């Protein structure tokens, strides 16, 4: 990907203005309107958010303080009471939207289903009642391990309806990874399916849940609620496991929305970091509802006539904020797709756009790069003229992929909304507003109103334009993560003390490197920590190392990212073996499979290199920089003189 080098991005001067007809109908029209909103929010953030919260959301009871900021702990809309599902469902039922499509689901193989707002409401209420019947109470955590079927969204909303925080675990994670998360969250119940369809295969989700819970290894879990999807033979443990369709039959479709405190926990979502186990990112109710609502509305210029499709999985934050909560809170039609492009159906994304007349399409750069490789014929053979806005998320988009997206998919008429954000931020932080912001290929453009993003050095000093630095946020925003579940100290250390606070001024550090140009546009350069990004999935190198070391053959492991033209990065592992093991290809295959078992297929190393030793400093720290260079076949960058044993590098270069 030669065109993502800093030099080429510095030379990227193309500018694309929002199409005139789109801009003329947008809620936020033109840069002057954006600048005005930005300045207004900056001058009085509390006033700005309070006005929107009152105007855009339904509250059972108003707040008496907009923001309580005790760095690094924030509370938004203090003592306000609301329920996010009231905003996503109930309030639409008294309008013409009652029978509007809320969720359009395209399933595999060839299934489809549309739920109107009234129908979605019914099913959510029924599941909420079933959860209550199974003993789930306000405050209890519920694990969700599901394929991409409507019941995944229904499960999330049912939890939120009764005030039970959910923790969705991506269906591609292994039983082991699921167990860790259920354990950390102390989940009382798990919602899953007999299986899911993925790439022409059945994924045995229920079997993985059984394995995660085997021998009562997560004693907090009392019940498993199973949705019938594939009709594969599965085991149902008497007393513990219940079928959703059986309980649904007897469940009332009326379940009042529990009035939640604005700061009550809405969900926990686990994500990878530099050190240790995945962290449970905590999001609460009021601020998250408001921020996901506003960002989707303004960045994508969401209209009631839009058919909006985000291709993420509900197991990630993008699915939470922008398949479920953001769109439904706005009363939009959200498309959910169970499939992924696969050899037997490479054009499936374009078929979905044509079939439903999708107007807003939001996907990841890795998918775009994969489509480029498949050739222009596939999209060109479909009618994509319904599209009016395109979006991307998950990793920096290289200008070449941006231009292809713009020309081949967008027919040169659709603005590209490149949204930079994170699990921790809850919603878009740096993003164009479709009807306002001129875009530059490869830049996420400008911060959303209310987001005081900046570029600083490691001491927190601002850096000049066009100089690389750390991407930070200077002021709290409504959907910021509140803490790491059960570990306030880790929250403080990881996000707020990485760059030391000065004079009581705390900077939120996101983990990304960035450059800002003279127009104030941000160019994200990627992670500066030990997190790697494989096909837009975030993986901690430490997690993969721990998985490898848990195999009896492995003495030591070091994992780095190696550049890949389609997936962005791939997992490259250096491994030293215990004395009694020999470095064979069969062992490499076994170790790769071991990682799949411990974490999931998304973490499978593309390559494993055996080594007699790893390069270390005199104090025993692995020098990853060198390993990254070695993995990519580059010359070593940096000084090798701090190394304990220089011959290690020669041996590694010869490879094995």
Residues that bind ligand WTA (CB under 6 A): 271, 316-318, 393-396, 418-423, 444, 510-512, 524, 526-527, 533, 538
Nearer of residues 129 and 419 to ligand WTA, judged by Cβ: 419
Q: Is 198 a known ligand-binding residue? A: yes
Query: Which of 138, 222, 237 has its CA nearest to residue 187?
Result: 222
Q: Is 549 a known ligand-binding residue? A: yes
What is the closest distance, in whole angstroms, from the C-beta atom of residue 431 to ligand WTA in the complex?
8
Q: Is 419 left (phi over 0), alpha (psi -120 to 50) or beta?
A: beta
Please give the Cα distance from 460 to 479 (Å, whole number): 23
Q: Is 625 a known ligand-binding residue? A: no
Q: Is 512 a known ligand-binding residue? A: yes
Nearer of residues 63 and 495 to ligand WTA, judged by Cβ: 495
For residue 361, give the 3-state DSSP assignment.
strand
Please give the Cα distance from 514 to 445 (Å, whole number): 12
Q: Is 3 a known ligand-binding residue? A: no
Q: What is the dihedral of CA 29, 32, 33, 39, to 10 degrees?
A: 160
Nearer of residues 510 and 608 to ligand WTA, judged by Cβ: 510
Q: Is 354 a known ligand-binding residue? A: no
Nearer of residues 107 and 280 to ligand WTA, judged by Cβ: 280
For residue 60, give the 3-state DSSP assignment.
coil
Nearer of residues 162 and 312 to ligand WTA, judged by Cβ: 312
Q: What is the dihedral of CA 119, 121, 127, 131, to 10 degrees?
A: -170
What is the closest distance, in whole angstroms, from the C-beta atom of residue 442 to ligand WTA in the complex?
9
What is the closest distance, in whole angstroms, from the C-beta atom of residue 393 to ligand WTA in the complex?
5
What is the full DSSP assignment across 210-228? HHHHGGGSSTT--EEEEE-
Q: Is 462 a known ligand-binding residue? A: no
Please give the Cα distance from 544 to 232 (Å, whole number): 31
Query: Which of 374, 415, 519 has its CA nearest to residue 12?
Result: 519
Nearer of residues 121 and 522 to ligand WTA, judged by Cβ: 522
Q: Is 396 a known ligand-binding residue? A: yes
What is the closest distance, in whole angstroms, from the C-beta atom of residue 430 to ligand WTA in the complex?
8
Q: Is 201 a known ligand-binding residue? A: yes
Residue 46, C-beta contacts closer than 8 angstroms, at least 6 positions apart: 66, 67
What is the closest distance, in whole angstroms, from the C-beta atom of residue 107 to ligand WTA in the complex?
25
As beta bridge partners, residue 538 has 533
What is the closest distance, in whole angstroms, from the C-beta atom of residue 363 to ligand WTA in the complex?
12
Q: Is 554 a known ligand-binding residue? A: yes
Nearer of residues 117 and 371 to ligand WTA, judged by Cβ: 371
Q: Is 588 a known ligand-binding residue? A: no
Query: Which of 255, 251, 362 has its CA nearest to residue 310?
Result: 362
Please give the Cα distance from 414 to 388 (Å, whole number): 5
Nearer of residues 341 and 396 to ligand WTA, judged by Cβ: 396
What is the closest distance, in whole angstroms, from the C-beta atom of residue 335 to ligand WTA in the complex?
19
* Residue whose beta carbon is closest to ligand WTA: 423
What is the closest distance, in whole angstroms, from the C-beta atom of residue 373 to ligand WTA in the complex?
21
Q: Is 421 a known ligand-binding residue? A: yes
**Range 646-652 contact pairs with CB under 8 angstroms and sequence separation of 24 or more:** 648/611, 648/612, 648/613, 648/614, 648/615, 648/616, 649/615, 651/611, 651/612, 651/613, 652/574, 652/609, 652/611, 652/615, 652/627
Query: Which of 510, 502, 492 has its CA nearest to residue 459?
Result: 502
Please give the Cα distance from 236 to 243 (Å, whole number): 9
Structure tokens at 597: 């078992």
Nearer of residues 121 and 298 to ligand WTA, judged by Cβ: 298
What is the closest distance, in whole angstroms, from the C-beta atom of residue 426 to ligand WTA in the complex?
10
Q: Is 418 a known ligand-binding residue? A: yes
What is the closest distance, in whole angstroms, from the C-beta atom of residue 269 to ligand WTA in the complex?
9
| Residue that is written with structure tokens 């395209």 in the block | 106
248 neighbors 127 (Cβ within 8 angstroms): yes
Nearer of residues 306 and 418 to ligand WTA, judged by Cβ: 418
Nearer of residues 59 and 509 to ligand WTA, judged by Cβ: 509
Beta strand extents in 520-595 (DSSP E only): 522-527, 531-534, 537-540, 554-564, 568-577
Q: Is 275 a known ligand-binding residue? A: no
Structure tokens at 206: 């229920």
What is the closest distance, in whole angstroms, from the C-beta atom of residue 294 to ligand WTA in the complex?
17
Binding residues: 198-201, 318, 394-396, 418-423, 512, 527, 535, 538, 549, 551, 554
Binding residues for CoA: 198-201, 318, 535
Binding residues for ATP: 394-396, 418-423, 512, 527, 538
Binding residues for Mg(2+): 549, 551, 554
């Amino acid at each position: 990907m030669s065109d993502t080098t800093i030099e080429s991005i510095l030379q990227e001067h193309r500018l694309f203005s929002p199409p005139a007809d789109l801009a003329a109908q947008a809620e936020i029209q033109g840069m002057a309107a954006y600048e005005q909103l930005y300045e207004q929010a900056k001058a009085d953030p509390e006033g700005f958010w309070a006005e929107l919260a009152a105007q855009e959301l339904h509250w059972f009871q108003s707040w008496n303080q907009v923001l309580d900021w005790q760095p690094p702990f924030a509370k938004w809309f203090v003592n306000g009471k609301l329920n996010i599902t009231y905003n996503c469902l109930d309030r639409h039922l008294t309008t013409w939207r009652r029978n509007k499509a809320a969720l359009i689901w395209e399933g595999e193989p060839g299934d489809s289903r549309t739920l109107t707002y009234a129908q979605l409401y019914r099913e959510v209420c029924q599941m909420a009642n079933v959860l209550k019947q199974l003993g789930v109470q306000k405050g209890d955590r519920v694990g969700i391990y599901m394929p991409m079927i409507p019941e995944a969204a229904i499960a999330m909303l049912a939890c939120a309806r009764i005030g039970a925080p959910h923790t969705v675990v991506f269906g591609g994670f292994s039983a082991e990874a699921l167990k860790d998360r259920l354990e950390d969250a102390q989940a009382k119940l798990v919602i899953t399916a007999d299986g899911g369809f993925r790439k022409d295969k059945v994924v045995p989700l229920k079997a993985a849940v059984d394995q995660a819970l085997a021998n009562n290894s997560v004693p907090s879990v009392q019940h498993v609620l199973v949705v019938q999807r594939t009709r594969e033979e599965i085991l149902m443990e008497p007393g513990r496991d219940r079928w959703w369709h059986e309980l649904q039959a007897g469940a009332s479709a009326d379940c009042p929305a529990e009035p939640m405190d604005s700061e009550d926990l809405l969900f926990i979502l686990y994500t990878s970091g530099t050190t240790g186990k995945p962290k449970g990112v905590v999001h609460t109710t009021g601020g998250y509802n408001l921020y996901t609502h506003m960002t989707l509305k303004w960045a994508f210029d969401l209209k009631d006539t839009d058919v909006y499709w985000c291709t993420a999985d509900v197991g990630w934050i993008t699915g939470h904020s922008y398949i479920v909560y953001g769109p439904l809170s706005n009363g939009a039609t959200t498309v959910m797709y169970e499939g992924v492009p696969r050899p037997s159906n490479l054009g499936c994304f374009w078929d979905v756009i044509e079939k439903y007349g999708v107007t807003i399409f939001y996907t990841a750069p890795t998918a775009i790069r994969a489509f480029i490789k498949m050739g222009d014929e596939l999209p060109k053979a479909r009618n994509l003229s319904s599209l009016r806005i395109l979006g991307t998320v998950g990793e920096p988009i290289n200008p070449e992929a941006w231009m292809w997206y713009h020309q081949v998919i967008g027919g040169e008429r659709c603005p590209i909304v490149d949204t930079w954000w994170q699990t921790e931020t809850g919603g878009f932080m740096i993003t164009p507003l479709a009807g306002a912001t001129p875009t530059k290929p490869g830049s996420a453009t400008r911060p959303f109103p209310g987001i005081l993003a900046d570029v600083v050095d490691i001491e927190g000093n601002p850096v000049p334009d066009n100089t690389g630095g750390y991407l930070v946020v200077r002021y709290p925003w409504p959907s910021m993560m509140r803490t790491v579940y059960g570990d306030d100290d880790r929250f403080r250390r990881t996000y707020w003390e990485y760059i030391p606070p000065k004079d009581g001024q705390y900077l939120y550090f996101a983990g990304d490197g960035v450059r800002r140009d003279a127009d104030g546009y941000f160019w994200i350069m990627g992670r500066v920590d030990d997190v790697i990004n494989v096909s837009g999935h975030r993986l901690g190198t430490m997690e993969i190392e721990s998985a490898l070391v848990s195999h009896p053959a492995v003495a030591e492991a070091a994992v780095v990212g190696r550049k890949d033209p389609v997936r962005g990065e791939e997992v490259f592992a250096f491994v030293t073996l215990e004395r009694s093991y020999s470095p064979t290809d069969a062992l490499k295959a076994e170790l790769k499979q071991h990682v799949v078992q411990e974490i999931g297929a998304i973490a499978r190393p593309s390559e494993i290199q055996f080594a007699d030793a790893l390069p270390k400093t005199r104090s025993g720290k692995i020098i990853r920089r060198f390993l990254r260079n070695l993995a990519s076949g580059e010359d070593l960058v940096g000084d090798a003189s701090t190394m304990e044993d220089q011959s290690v590098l020669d041996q590694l270069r010869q490879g094995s």
